[in-house]
């Protein structure tokens, strides 16, 4: 039987009354004079949850499970963000190698959002009222009667949703919705670096040997000739290390041997060994590596923007845009005759430190 053949007496009483009350038109059969007769609504078919409270409880638990799964996925999102290194990769068949962090964040956030939506849909389809109601269009400017009806319908809908009676669903839904925004809050972490002191320190420490960058051997005072320029790195830092580039960018050292009587700065002389001075190789302008040395003037020149530093006078700036002198590393000789650091740089190396934090 088609929907047009359903007699009006088979309609639910509240729906049939609603048809005529709202001027929806009399239920009839289409003919030549009225090809668009209102066929009415089919009789309402009750769901199993409407007549079996045990089935309703099962649906309630299913919805609560989905909301709880959303909460767990949100917690997993935050844990993945904190625990998984950004450079770690995993193999996912059949896609291939992926970033472990991106894969975990996408999987957990997708699960959190999907289960909230699935829980809401399952709740609406199995536990909320599914009675079809037809209503005529009304003017945009609602009358007081319409507003009163909307308020009444809202109250009726809230009652039929069983928000008050289905407390398990309500509480788990609130929990899932409350936790999901935490995913976005955690992502605010990537707006900038955390306030740390990692730029204040390098790998240099008391007792660290000065290792020649070219030979990878510890340096003795006899290895540094007057007027020569030697580049050094801290003992234990190797080029195959994962963080080599980050660490050498702070710890790169240039070593020059001067005649002690040519050193004008008192502290520079105290921190040197037999005229051997060690300064940061990183220019204090924009961080370029300094590599040009004038033997006669004891000046070092940055090749990027021509900032010039006087190594005989505390490596102060004598030309160019650099803002401050190169940091000096205090050095000495250990019992075996090798050059070693007496500590870390006392001031941060590199450019614009206070702006970078």
Report the alpha-carbon distance of residue 140 to residue 61 in Å, rounded: 41
pLDDT tens-digit readout, 140-171: 777 888 889 998 988 888 888 877 778 888 88
pTM: 0.50
pLDDT tens-digit readout, 254-307: 999 999 999 999 999 999 999 999 999 999 888 899 988 998 899 999 999 999
List b or e across 193-216, with b for residues whose CB sees 16 or more CB atoms inside 10 angstroms: eeeeeeeeebbbeeebbbbbbeee
Residue 306's Cα: distance from chain center in Å?
A: 39
Note if the bond before 94 is cis, omega within 30 degrees: yes
pLDDT tens-digit readout, 55-69: 999 999 999 999 999
Give residue 241's pLDDT: 87
- Which is more confident, 295 or 190? 295
Residues 6+ away with beta carbon under 8 Å from 339: 209, 210, 218, 219, 220, 221, 224, 255, 273, 276, 331, 332, 333
Whether the per-residue pLDDT at 4 is higher than 80: the answer is no
Whether the per-residue pLDDT at 25 is higher than 50: the answer is no
Residue 327's Cα: distance from chain center in Å?
A: 34
Poorest-confidence range of 33-42, 76-85, 177-186, 245-254?
33-42
């Amino acid at each position: 039987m088609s929907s047009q053949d359903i007699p009006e007496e088979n309609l639910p009483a509240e729906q049939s009354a609603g048809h005529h009350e709202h001027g929806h038109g009399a239920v009839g059969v289409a003919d030549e004079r009225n090809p668009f007769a209102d066929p009415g609504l089919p009789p309402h078919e009750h769901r199993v949850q409407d007549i079996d409270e045990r089935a309703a409880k099962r649906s309630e638990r299913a919805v609560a499970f989905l909301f709880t799964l959303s909460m767990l996925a949100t917690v997993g999102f935050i844990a993945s963000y904190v625990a998984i290194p950004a450079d770690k990769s995993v193999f996912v068949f059949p896609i291939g190698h992926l970033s472990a962090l991106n894969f975990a964040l996408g999987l957990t956030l997708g699960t959190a959002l999907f289960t909230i939506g699935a829980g809401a849909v399952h709740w609406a389809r199995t536990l909320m009222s599914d009675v079809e109601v037809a209503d005529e269009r009304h003017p945009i400017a609602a009358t007081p009667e319409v507003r009163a009806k909307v308020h009444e319908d809202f109250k009726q809908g809230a009652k039929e949703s069983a928000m008050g009676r289905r407390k398990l669903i309500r509480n788990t839904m609130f929990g899932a919705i409350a936790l999901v925004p935490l995913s976005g809050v955690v992502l605010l972490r990537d707006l900038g670096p955390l306030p740390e002191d990692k730029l204040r320190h390098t790998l240099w420490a008391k007792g660290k040997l000065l290792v020649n960058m070219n030979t990878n051997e510890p340096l003795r005072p006899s290895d540094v000739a007057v007027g020569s320029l030697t580049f050094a790195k801290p003992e234990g830092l190797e080029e195959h290390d994962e963080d080599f580039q980050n660490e050498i960018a702070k710890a790169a050292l240039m070593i020059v041997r001067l005649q002690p009587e040519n050193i004008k700065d008192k502290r520079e002389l105290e921190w040197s060994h037999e005229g051997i001075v060690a300064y940061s190789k990183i220019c204090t302008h924009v961080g370029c590596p300094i590599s040009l040395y004038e033997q006669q003037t004891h000046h070092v020149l940055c090749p990027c923007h021509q900032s010039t530093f006087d190594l005989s006078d505390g490596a102060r700036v004598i030309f160019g845009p650099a803002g401050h002198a190169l940091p000096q590393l205090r050095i000495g000789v250990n019992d075996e005759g090798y050059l070693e650091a007496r500590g870390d740089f006392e001031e941060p190396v590199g450019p614009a430190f206070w702006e970078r934090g």
